[in-house]
Amino acid sequence: MSTFKAPKGTYDLIPPESAKFLAVREALSAPLRRSGYGYTETPGFENVELFARGVGESTDIVTKEMYTLTTKGGDELALRPEGTASVLRAALEANLHKSGNLPVKLWYSGSYYRYERPQKGRYRHFSQVGAEAIGAEDPSLDAELIILAHDAYRSLGLRDFRILLNSLGDKECRPVYRAALQEFLRELDLDEETRARIEINPLRVLDDKRDSVQKQLVGAPMMRDHLCEACRSYHEQVRELLTSAGVTYEDDPKLVRGLDYYTRTTFEFVHDGLGSQSAVGGGGRYDGLSEMIGGPALPSVGWALGVDRTVLALEAEGVELELPPATEVFAVPIGDEARRVLFGAVTELRRQGVAADFAYGGKGMKNAMKSANRSGARFALLVGERDLTEGVAQLKDLGSGEQTAVALDRVVTEVRARLA
C-alpha cells in the first residue's frame, strides 16, 4: 500500500469503473461531433483575472472555490473552475471569430477544480464535457444545444431527468428588473454576506439554497415579468423549437445558475435521484462575455455536462451500460516456442481490431487460465508443444467450455468469424 492517498475531495478512475466514465464521455460528445462541433483543449490553469472577469468577482467560485497559485515570475494563475471562459479565450486568441464562418462551434472534455466541502456528487476535482457556439445570436442555437444534451442523456438510457428553463433578459431589460429585485431584497432579514450580494449581483440571491432565504423570497419580482419584447420573443422561439423537437421542459423563473455571464436563455438538467446535488449539467447564453475578457461583441451559448454526476444518475436509475469488452481473446502459451508463435498471433489479432491479451510472466497453465477467466474474455487461445508439432492452436470458448483445434495460419480468421 502506498504512503500517499489521493487528495481529499478527489478520486482515481481505475478499471473496471473507468470504462463507464469513458462510455459516458463518448455518449455526451457523440451528438456534438455529428452537429459540426470541433474538439478543443485548453490548459488546466489560466490567468486568475480571466475567471474573475468572466465568471464574476462576487460568485462563490471566484471568492471561495478557486485554487490559485503565484508563479516564480509573479503571475497569478488559477486551476480552471469551469470551461467556458477558457474556451472563449482560446477562440479569441486564435482569431477563430475572424474566419467568416460563424458560429464557431467547439466541444471539449476535461477535469475542473473547485475548493468545496466534499460530498457525494460534489468533488474538488470533477470531469465535464462541454460545448460552446460562439458568435451568433439565434434561438435555434440555444435549442440545438439543449436538444443535443437531452438526446445524449437519452442515448445512455437516462429517463428521470428534468430540464429547467428560464430567461435572464439582456442589457436592455435586466437593469430595470435588477433595481426592482434589489428594492424587494433590501427589506428582507438577511445576513451581512447576502446583503452585500444584493448590491453586486442580486440575481444570485434567488439561487440561495437555504430554506431561511427561500421562505422570504415568496412574492419576489421575477425576470419573466420584466422581459423586454425582444427577449420575450427570443425566449418564446426557444420554447417553441424545444416543443416541436419533442423535448419536455419546465419553466423555472428562479433559475439563475452560479455564474455571472449568463444572459437570456438559461437552463439546467436535474436528476431527482441524486439528492441535494441534483444538477447533472446546465448552461445558457452569454452574449457579453467576450467583451468582459477584452474581445469583440460575440453573442454565444454553451453548456457543460458533469461526467461524474451522469454516472451517479445512471446508478440511481439502475441503468447498466453496454460496455465493449476489455478482452475478447486471452492467449495462453505453454513453452518458449509457443510463447513466440502465440505472441505473433496476438499482435495480428490486435491489428485486426480484436481485443486480445496474453499470459505474461511465464505463468503455468492453471494460473494462466485463471487470468483468462478473470479477464472476461470470450475465448482462450492455447498453444503447447504438441500443438506446434501439429500446426494448430486450441480455441476454447470460456462460456461453454467447448474447445476446437484451429490451424495456426487460420487463427485470426477463425477468431474474427466466431466473434462476429
DSSP 97: G
CA angle 254, 315, 272 (to 5 degrees): 20
- What is Dmax (Cα atoms) for the chain? 93
Instruction: Give the neighbor-by-neighbor strand order of the sheet with 279-285.
Output: 38-39, 104-113, 125-134, 300-306, 279-285, 263-271, 161-167, 250-251
257 is in an annotated binding site: yes
Query: From CA 333, how far away is CA 326, in angstroms rounded?
Result: 20
Residues contacting residue 58 through CB under 8 Å, at least 6 positions apart: 197, 200, 201, 204, 260
Strands of the sheet containing 68-70, edge to edge, are 45-47, 76-79, 68-70
Residue 82 assigned ligand-binding role: yes
CA distance 121 to 279: 9
Q: What are phi and psi of 232, to 5 degrees?
A: -65, -45
Residue pair 109/140 in contact by the 8 Å Cβ criterion? no
Question: Is 132 marked as binding a ligand?
Answer: yes
**Strand pairing of 68-70 and 38-39?**
unpaired
Does 264 appear as a known binding residue? no
Binding residue per annotation — 261? Answer: yes
In DSSP notation, 139-190 reads: HHHHHHHHHHHHHHHHHHT--SEEEEEEE---TTTHHHHHHHHHHHHTTS--
**Amino acid at position 160, single letter:** D
Residue 114 is assigned to a ligand binding site: yes
CA 260 to chain centre: 21
Amino acid sitting at position 152: A
Question: Contact at 8 Å (CB) between 377 and 325?
Answer: yes
Residue 66: count other Cβ atoms within 10 Å of its Cβ: 21
Distance CA 234, CA 231 (A): 5
* Residues annotated within a binding site: 82-84, 114, 128, 132, 257, 261-262
* Residues annotated within a binding site for L-histidine: 82-84, 114, 128, 132, 257, 261-262
